[in-house]
Amino acid sequence: MPTPSVRPELLLAEASVAVSAPSAAWVATITADREFYDRVIARKGPDADQVGFPAFYPERRITLHGNDILIGKRSVSQGLTPDIDLGIAPADVGVSRAHAMIHLDGDELTVTDLGSTNGTSVNGSDELIPAKVPVALRSGDRIHLGGWTTIVFEHEPA
């Protein structure tokens, strides 16, 4: 039986597909959101009496890697090392140690509140998303957590 011949140009085409970089990446931009803070104070959230708005909070951008991205505050005693650590000074005291989980599946992105004390909301809504229920996000969507933290998720060209 003859050995099938393989065309070299097909091997090169397959190899380039296998090693090509992703065409886009999800990026999280973390900010201190004065408008969200004012709404938390007005509705007297669980930690409203303890939350103060920071005088300065540098915007942070984090490219998301992996499928499950934990948002919270680092805790050595609990063995928690969030992928998006909101315990970096100035820390938002309203953010739980394990606050929310971002799940990436290709171009699909969801957020799940993990049962946090102050909850998580999306796109300026005062209605909190249900705990432990994944909520789909689109590029440009904002999640609000703690007393003043807003994270914008954008699908950007790589």
- DSSP summary character for residue 7: -
Kindly tell me if the per-residue pLDDT of 65 is higher than 50.
Answer: yes
Cα Rg of the chain (Å, integer): 20
- Distance CA(155)–CA(109), nearest Å, equals 10
Kindly tell me if the per-residue pLDDT of 45 is higher than 60.
Answer: yes
Give the model confidence (pLDDT) of 99-132 as tens digits: 999 999 988 999 999 999 999 999 999 999 999 9
Kindly tell me if the per-residue pLDDT of 17 is higher than 50.
Answer: no
In percent, how much of the chain has pLDDT > 70? 86
